[in-house]
Amino acid sequence: MKNSALIITTYNWPEALELVLLSLINQNQLPDEIIIADDGSKEDTKLLIEKCQFLFDGKVKQGLIHVWQEDEGFQLSRIRNKAMAISKADYIVMIDGDMILHPNFIKSHLENAKINYFIQGSRVLLDEQTSAAAIANQKLKFSFTDSGLTNRANALDNAFLSAVVSKEKNHHLGVRGCNMGFWRKDLLAINGFNEKFTGWGREDSEFVVRILNKGVKRKNLKFAAVAYHLFHGDENKIKNQNGLHKNDHLLETALKENLTWCESGIDQHFEAGI
């Protein structure tokens, strides 16, 4: 593998983003690029990123790269494409800005990266009380035996067990973009994320449908690429419920028509210079 990038999506939760960045600096292997894809956060997120820059001086070539767009509602597909368009990496790992990373997170993703595959990593759900305490105390390390882990089996990190139980899947069900790795060439081959998805929901599934239709296989890692997902409410779901029907239709179209390409994708950001 030549080089790698970590894309971190965020929106107006700097307390969570700070934990992500602190867990990132503790990685056993850092990516070559770190790009924060910001869907319109306020000034406090920008200030946090500036404050954390020193942590990565001399460790990541360009430090933290902050890609920001105006807040025009939930535009996750667009900000992901903007961030990925400026990346020069061969392999991209994508997480949400509320995922505390196991020290082996990046290493696991890169060790399991394989041509013609994309990866779904392991997600551990933290309950509301545990998440609040983690933020208050800046807790970065969790174990299988900790309380407050909703699906604690996912907290195991073991390369041998992972090799035995991780499996291929040939569908989009259960996919989550909050912990995913893929090759840049595969991203470009399907034109990235579909920016017709606005409002919460289904953008990850439609992306995976197209990449599967292109012939790229899915591998779900178990006991590897572990990240701990901070609890958050369903504000986005409630706020954007009116747009979910439209997003469902876009997903159904990709499935029925065996689509591999989206018209409103990453290519427009190369043409527009981001």
Share of the chain above pLDDT 70, in %: 95
Tens of pLDDT, residue by residue over 73-88, are: 999 999 999 999 999 9
Tokens linked to 258: 């065996």
CA–CA separation, 161 and 222 (whole Å): 8
Q: What is the DSSP letter of 249?
A: H
In the three-class reduction of DSSP (H, G, I as helix; E, B as strand; rest coil), residue 94 is classed as strand
Q: pLDDT band for position 1 (50/70/90)?
A: low
In order, the DSSP letters of 110-163 are: HHH--TTEEEE-EEEEB-HHHHHHHHHHT-----TT-TTBTTGGGG---HHHHH
CA–CA separation, 155 and 151 (whole Å): 8
Distances (CA, A) of 131 to 104, 150, 226, 259: 21, 11, 16, 39
Distances (CA, A) of 171 to 76, 208, 210, 213, 233: 22, 8, 11, 10, 27
Contact (CB, 8 A) for 130 and 151: no
CA–CA separation, 49 and 47 (whole Å): 5
For residue 224, how far is the Cα from the chain centroid? 15
CA–CA separation, 110 and 59 (whole Å): 17
Q: Please check the confidence at residue 2 and state whether its pLDDT lies above 90.
A: no
Tens of pLDDT, residue by residue over 40-70, are: 999 999 999 999 999 999 999 889 999 999 9
pLDDT at 241: 55
Answering whether pTM is above 0.85, one says yes
CA–CA separation, 230 and 97 (whole Å): 9
Share of the chain above pLDDT 90, in %: 90
pLDDT at 139: 97
Q: Please check the confidence at residue 246 and state whether its pLDDT lies above 80.
A: yes
Least-confidence region, from 120-129, 181-190, 234-243: 234-243
Q: What are the structural domains of the chain?
A: 4-268 (3.90.550.10)
Mean pLDDT, residues 223-248: 78
Mean pLDDT, residues 222-240: 78
Q: Please check the confidence at residue 91 and state whether its pLDDT lies above 60.
A: yes
Which residues sit opposite 229 in a β-bridge?
Answer: 99, 125
Q: pLDDT band for position 239 (50/70/90)?
A: very low
Q: Please check the confidence at residue 247 and state whether its pLDDT lies above 90.
A: yes
Q: pLDDT band for position 272 (50/70/90)?
A: low
CA–CA separation, 227 and 155 (whole Å): 8
